[in-house]
Chain A
C-alpha cells in the first residue's frame, strides 16, 4: 500500500520551509522532502532578508510566519547602512542608498542560510508534527505522476507515496517544473549568475571597521570597473563575524563575453576599497628547516599548526563580547587583559620560535555560486500545473531592480499564498487546476511583489534618484535621453517618473540594464567625483582548485548531469562559465567531470540536469 499524505512540499529552502510552516499552522498535514542531508546545506543567498510594508496591498512577511523571529532567529545583522559605490581603478564615489533600502520596509537582516534555514526548519517541523506531517531530508524527488487524481511522488531513496496537492519549491533549476512541462528551462536572458565568498572577520574588528554598533550591519554595492565590463555588480554584506562578498551578473551578458565566475568575485576582492574592508591579521607559516631530522620537522609542523589554531580561536573569542565574557566567567581567564596577554604570548612564541609571520591578508571560508531567476523576465504567468503550485525561485519569482535584490522574502510570500490556496482546496476537497491553481494564481496576482516585477515603483525610483542627486546631469542625460534627463532634475522628477511608467519595463529595461549603467556611468562618476583610494596590501586569492578543496562534498559516483551535445557553442563556453571548472575541452568536445560540481545550474540549459541523489553533492556550511 502506498502511503498517503495531504500535501507534499518539494524543496526545503526558505520558500519550501515557509510553505510547510503555513500549512501546518492552518492545521493541514504536509510533508516536506529536501534533497540535502540537512536543511540549509544546499541554499545560497547574498543575502539580505527583508520584511516589507507596501503602501498598497500586503506582503506576508517572515515575522508574521515565525513567531519571535527578530528575537530568536539566528540572523546576522540588521542592516542600517546601505551604500552604493561607483568604482574605478583607484577612485571611489559613494552614494548613500540607506533611504532606498529602508523604502517601505520593516527591516532587512543579513543572513546565512546555512544557519537560518535549519532554524526555520525546526519551527516548521514542530508545527507539522502536530498535524501528522514533518520534514524528510536526504531524499531526492525523481518524478511526479498522477493516479486517480492524486499526485504520486517518486524519490531515489524511498517508496513512492501519494498526495492531494504538491507545492514545488525546488529552486531555480526546478526538476518538477521541467519534467511536468509546467515551464521550459529559463533562458540566459532570464537569469543572473550569483557568486559569493564568505570571508572571516572577528566581530568587533568588523564593527569598528564599518562604523556599526553591536547587531547593526552595513551593506555595500559596487558597480564600475569591478564588473569587468559585464552587466551586474558586486555586494558586500556584514554578517556577525563574517562578510558575504559576491557578485550578481546578467547571465546573458556572461554568455556573450564569457568570464569566469571566480574572476568576477576576485575583481571585487581586489578592488582597493573592498580589499581594505576584508583585511585581517593572518598567520603565515614559514618553511621548517629541512636539515632538521625528519621527526623533528614533523613535530615542529604539528606544533605550529596547533598554536596557530589556538591563536585564531582565542582571537575570535577575544573580539566577540559574548565569547570573551564566557571565557572570563567560565574561569578560564581572569580578565580580558589576561586573554590579550595570552594572545600576545602565543604570537610571540610563533614568531620567535617558528618564524611565523603575521601579515595583512584576508581569510576566505566558503565559495558558492547559484543561478538567480530575474522575476521581471521569467516569473511564471501561470504558476501552477495540475495540482502542483510553484513558489519562490522554482516559479521564477524575485524582485531584482537596480539595488533591490529580493528573492527570499518573495519566496516566503509565495509560500503563504500557495499554502492558503491548498488549505482551501483541502476544505473543499477540490484540487482541480481550475480551482486550486487559479485560486493561487489570483493570490499571486495580488502580491505587491508581482506588481514590482511588472511595473516601475515611482516612489522607489524617486527615492533612488534623490540619493543620486549629486551625480552631474550630463553623465546621465547624454546617455539615457529625455526621460532620464528630466528625472535628474528635481523639478521634473515626478513628471519623468510618470513618463517612464508609460514606457513600461519592456522599453525601459534594455535602456537601464545595460553596460552603460553598470560599467561606463559608474566609472565616469568615480573618475570625476570619486576620492582616491589606495591599496595597502595585495590579498592572496585562492585558486578555484583551492576553493573547491575547502568545500565539503558527499561524493556521488553517479553523475547527475549528462551532456547532450558536447560540441555546442554554449557547452564550450561552460569551460569558462562553470564556477568550479567541471568542464574541459578535449579535441573540440567538452568533457564533464562532475565531482567538483556545486549545483549552480549554470550548465542546465543544454544538459540533462538533475540535482544529485539524496545527501549527495556539495554540502555548504554558510550558504
Chain B
C-alpha cells in the first residue's frame, strides 16, 4: 500500500439543468424533489485526488454528508477517482447544518477513514451554498494547513511536503500565481481551473490502469460504501445539525431581474431564410473582419 492517503469531501448538489429543479413556495429549494448529482466543483476535487492515485498510488477515500440517495453521487465520484472507500454520513440530526456543523460531521467522518489522512481535498465551493466555507472550517477542525484556490500541486514524497500553485486575486492586480510549500497533512480546496497533467508514459499507463480499475469498482460501488449515522460517527449532538449551527438561513430573496443590457432575438434556424438571417447578422456584427 502506498504511503500517501488522501480523502475527498464531496457535495451532492441539485441538478440545475432544465427539468430537474424544483422550488418550495417560499423560494427555497425543494431538496426532496430536486434531482441530485455530483457537484462540478466536487468533480474537480476528485480529479485532484485521482492525480494523487496515479502519481503516488495514493489510497483514496471519498466522504459526503447527505441523504441516503447521495450514494449515487459517491459512485460518480468513484468513477473519477477510483476511490478505495466511500463514506456517507447520513442522519436526520444532521439536517439544517450550516457550514460549521457540516465541517464537524466531515471531520468526524474523515477520522473514520483508513488511518490518518495526508491530504484532504474539497471543491472550491458548492453551486447551491456558494459560501465556500465548509472547506476551511473542516481544515481548521482537522488541524490541517489550509491551501485554497489551488490550481496545481505535487507531492515531494521523500520530504513529505506539498508544493502547490495558488491562484490569488489581489485588488488592482491581474491574477497572481503563488507557489507555496507546506508539510503534510494539508487541506486543499481545488480551484475550478485545475487540470491534472500526466506527462510521461508511466503516468499515462498508471492513468489507464486506475481508470480501468475505477470502471470495475463503480460496477460494484455498493461494496465500497460505508454509511454512518451520528452515533456511529461519535459526534457530539450539540455540534452537528441545526443545534451545531450558529448561522441559519433566515430568508432567501429572489433578486429582481436586472434589466437586460443585451438584446437577443430567437431565430430557430429551421429554414434557409432563417439561416440567411443568422448569416446576415454575423456579417453585420463582424463587419470588416474577414473569415477565411
- Which residues on A sit within 8 Å (CB–CB) of B177? none
Interface-located stretch among B62-70, B117-125, B196-204: B196-204
> A135 to B201, Cβ gap below 8 A?
no
> A158 to B270, Cβ gap below 8 A?
no
Interface size on B, residues (CB 8 A): 13
> B205 to A136, Cβ gap below 8 A?
yes
Complex CA–CA separation, A460 to B208 (angstroms): 45
> A5 to B201, Cβ gap below 8 A?
yes
Q: Nearest-CB distance from A581 to chain B (Å)?
A: 15
- Which residues on A sit within 8 Å (CB–CB) of B268? 294, 297-298, 301
> A129 to B209, Cβ gap below 8 A?
yes
Q: Nearest-CB distance from B33 to chain A (Å)?
A: 23
> A3 to B200, Cβ gap below 8 A?
yes
Q: Is A125 an interface residue (CB 8 A)?
A: yes
> A134 to B200, Cβ gap below 8 A?
no
Q: Is A291 an interface residue (CB 8 A)?
A: no
What is the 8 Å Cβ interface bit string for chain A, positions 25-64, against chain B (1 contact, 0 not)? 0000001000000000000000000000000000000000
CB contact under 8 A between A136 and B201, given known A125-B208, A129-B209 = yes
Interface size on A, residues (CB 8 A): 20
- Which residues on B sit within 8 Å (CB–CB) of A159? 199-201
- Which residues on B sit within 8 Å (CB–CB) of A139? 204
In A141-182, which residues have CB < 8 Å from any B CB? 157-159, 161
- Which residues on B sit within 8 Å (CB–CB) of A294? 266, 268
Q: Is A288 an interface residue (CB 8 A)?
A: yes
> B204 to A136, Cβ gap below 8 A?
yes
Q: Nearest-CB distance from A95 to chain B (Å)?
A: 47
Complex CA–CA separation, A158 to B204 (angstroms): 9
> A135 to B208, Cβ gap below 8 A?
yes
Complex CA–CA separation, A142 to B50 (angstroms): 28
Q: Nearest-CB distance from A613 to chain B (Å)?
A: 15
Q: Nearest-CB distance from A303 to chain B (Å)?
A: 14
- Which residues on B sit within 8 Å (CB–CB) of A297? 268, 270
Can you list 25 residue pairs at the A/B interface with Cβ under 8 Å?
A3-B200, A3-B201, A3-B202, A31-B201, A31-B205, A125-B208, A129-B209, A133-B205, A134-B205, A134-B208, A134-B209, A136-B204, A136-B205, A139-B204, A158-B199, A158-B201, A159-B200, A161-B200, A161-B201, A288-B270, A294-B266, A297-B268, A297-B270, A301-B268, A301-B270
Known: A125-B208, A136-B208, A159-B201; 20 extra A-B contacts, CB below 8 A, are: A3-B200, A3-B202, A5-B201, A31-B201, A31-B205, A125-B212, A134-B208, A136-B204, A136-B205, A139-B204, A158-B199, A158-B201, A159-B199, A161-B200, A161-B201, A287-B271, A288-B270, A297-B270, A301-B268, A301-B270
The 3 residue pairs across chains A and B that have the minimum distance between CB atoms:
A136-B204, A134-B205, A159-B200
Chain A positions near chain B (C-beta within 8 angstroms): 3, 5, 31, 125, 129, 133-136, 139, 157-159, 161, 287-288, 294, 297-298, 301
